C-alpha cells in the first residue's frame, strides 16, 4: 500500500490517463497507490459501499454477479482497464464482485482524489466518458447476442470478442491470453458448462480452435466462428 512515486510515464498507456500532461501525471503519481494481490483475491465485494477504484497494471480480474449456484460473469478485464469506478461516480454500492484470476498488480485511488482529478483535469473526464461509452456499446452487443443467438453462437461471439480485445497473433492463429475455463465461458454467455463443452469440442474436432495448457484457447479459423454469429 505504497504510492507509486516517480513513474509518471507508466501512466501513459492507461486509457484513463491517455494524453495527460507530465504535470498532471506527476500529480497522479502522488494520489495513486500500488498493491499486489494474490490469485483469487476478492478485490471488490458486491453490495458493499465503494471507496476506491482500481487500475490493472498486470494480471486479469473477473467481474461477476454471484447467484445461487449460477455466477454471471460480466467481464474479464486485463491491464490498463479501470475497475470499480462506478461506485465512486454515483455513490451506489458495488453492483458486482471483482476477484483476481492470477496474482495482480493494481493501482488504487480513493473517492476524493478521483473526484478531484476528474474536476481539475478535463481531459481525464473526457477519457472516462470514452471508456464508459465503449462499455455501453459492448454491453449492448452482448445483450443483442443473448437475445438472438443460440449457445454456440454466443460462445463464438465471446471468443471472437476476446480475440479482438486481448488476442496475440501467432503463425497458428490468434491466441487468447486469458485463463478461460468452460465454466467461465458458461458464466459469460449465460448457459451451462456442458453446453459450452459441446461447442468447444466440436470446434476442436474441426480444427477451428485448439486449447493449450488446459486454459489457453487459440482460434485457427475465425471466419468459421464468425459464421456462427452475425
Partner DNA sequence: CGCGAGATGTGATATTATTCACATCTCCGG
Partner DNA sequence: CCGGAGATGTGAATAATATCACATCTCGCG
Binding site for DNA (CB under 7 A): 150-152, 181-183, 190-195, 197-198, 200-201, 204, 211, 213-215
Nearer to DNA (CB atom), residue 169 or residue 213 = 213
Shortest distance, CB of residue 207 to a second copy, whole angstroms?
29
Buried b / exposed e over 16-30, threshold 16 CB at 10 Å, is bbbebeeebbebbbe
Q: What part of residues 82-121 is at the interface with a second copy (CB under 8 A)?
A: 85-86, 89-90, 92, 95-96, 118-119
224 binds, among a second copy, DNA, none (CB under 5 to 8 A by kind): none
Shortest distance, CB of residue 61 to DNA, whole angstroms?
16
Shortest distance, CB of residue 142 to a second copy, whole angstroms?
6
Binding mask 116-155 for a second copy (x = CB under 8 A): --xx--x--xx-xxx-xxxxxx-xxxxxx-xxx-------
Nearer to a second copy (CB atom), residue 13 or residue 130 = 130
Shortest distance, CB of residue 24 to a second copy, whole angstroms?
15
Q: How far is CA 15 from the centre of its chain?
A: 13
Place of cell 504535470: 23
Amino acid at each position: 500500500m505504497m504510492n507509486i512515486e516517480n513513474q509518471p510515464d507508466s501512466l501513459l498507456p492507461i486509457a484513463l490517463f491517455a494524453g495527460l500532461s507530465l504535470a498532471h501525471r506527476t500529480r497522479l503519481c502522488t494520489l495513486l497507490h500500488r498493491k499486489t494481490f494474490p490469485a483469487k483475491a476478492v478485490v471488490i465485494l458486491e453490495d458493499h459501499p465503494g471507496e476506491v477504484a482500481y487500475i490493472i497494471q498486470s494480471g486479469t480480474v473477473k467481474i461477476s454477479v454471484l447467484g445461487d449456484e449460477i455466477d454471471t460473469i460480466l467481464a474479464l478485464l486485463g491491464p490498463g482497464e479501470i475497475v470499480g469506478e462506478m461506485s465512486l461516480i454515483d455513490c451506489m454500492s458495488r453492483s458486482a464482485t471483482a476477484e483476481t484470476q492470477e496474482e495482480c498488480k493494481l493501482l488504487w485511488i480513493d473517492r476524493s482524489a478521483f473526484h478531484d482529478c476528474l474536476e481539475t483535469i478535463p481531459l481525464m473526464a473526457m477519457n472516462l466518458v470514452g471508456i464508459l461509452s465503449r462499455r455501453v456499446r459492448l454491453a449492448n452487443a452482448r445483450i443483442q447476442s443473448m437475445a438472438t443467438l443460440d449457445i454456440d453462437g454466443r460462445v463464438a461471439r465471446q471468443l471472437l470478442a476476446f480475440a479482438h480485445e486481448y488476442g496475440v497473433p501467432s503463425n497458428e492463429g490468434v491466441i487468447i491470453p486469458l485463463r478461460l475455463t468452460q465454466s467461465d465461458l458458461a458464466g459469460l454467455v449465460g448457459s451451462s458448462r456442458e453446453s459450452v463443452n459441446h461447442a468447444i469440442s466440436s470446434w476442436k474436432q474441426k480444427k477451428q480452435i485448439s486449447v493449450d495448457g488446459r486454459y489457453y484457447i487459440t482460434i485457427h479459423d475465425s471466419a468459421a466462428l464468425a459464421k456462427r454469429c452475425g
